[in-house]
Amino acid sequence: MVHLPTTNTKIDFLGLDHIALNCSDMKRTVAFYNGLLGMPILHTLEYTAKDDNGDEVPVGQHFFFGVGGENHNAHLAFFYWKNGYHPEAGNMSPAPRPTGVYPRATKPGVVMHINLRVAQERIPEYCKLLGDAGIEYRHTTRYGDPWREVTTHNGYAPPTEGCLMDSVYFDDPDGLHLEFNAWLPLWDSWTNEDEPWADPRTTG
């Protein structure tokens, strides 16, 4: 009989940090998870992108719904995208993305990605573990005011001053998107002040 290991000698996971999901109306999602189920909104974010005229316009929102427990950052991460969604689930869907749909706007109602919390100082080592196994990954650090992201493909770029989050993204063999993430201390001061957007096709 094979005895599979019951401890992890490779990666020191610090718990399930968040599950990322898309919703089709943030106002409705807030009414359900915050209003009905009482989950606190830990933080909020808004995303912009350039429109056809080159103007930076609002395109999406990201609300963090706290789920309690020992990790005070543990949450459901809901995203809402104004310009619609990819028609299929999965990070490597063969169907083309409809015109205007934001790249991260995958189908609502299914998992977008699963995040496992790790210690920030060990992320370079975990990147190497993935790279040595031939798994493609992207390393992203995020900064606030204004919000910006720095992404490196198949390599680790150390965070610079003002970093809020340090993340690595990759796929499992079925294309399920995974993230290892650490929140830097500055993150705790991020606000939760955005108004949830309604969608005219649902709550209007």
Footprint (CB under 5 A) of Fe ion, residues 175-194: 179
Tokens 């610090």: give the residue. 14
Query: What would the x/- binding string for Fe ion be over residues 36 to 75, using CB under 5 A?
Result: ----------------------------------------
Q: Closest separation between CB of residue 77 and Fe ion, Å?
A: 6
DSSP state of 126: H
Tokens 């809402």: give the residue. 80
Q: How far apart are CA 174 and CA 112, in angstroms?
A: 13
In this chain, which stretch among 1-9, 65-73, 93-101, 113-121 interacts with Fe ion, using CB under 5 A? 113-121
- Total chain residues near Fe ion (CB under 5 A): 3
| Other C-beta atoms lying within 10 Å of the C-beta of residue 98 | 12
Among 22, 106, 115, 141, binds Fe ion (CB under 5 A): 115
Tell whether residue 106 is a contact of Fe ion (CB under 5 A): no
Residues contacting residue 36 through CB under 8 Å, at least 6 positions apart: none
> Between β-strands 177-183 and 111-117, what pairing exists: parallel, antiparallel or unpaired?
parallel
Question: What is the binding site for Fe ion (CB under 5 A)?
Answer: 20, 115, 179
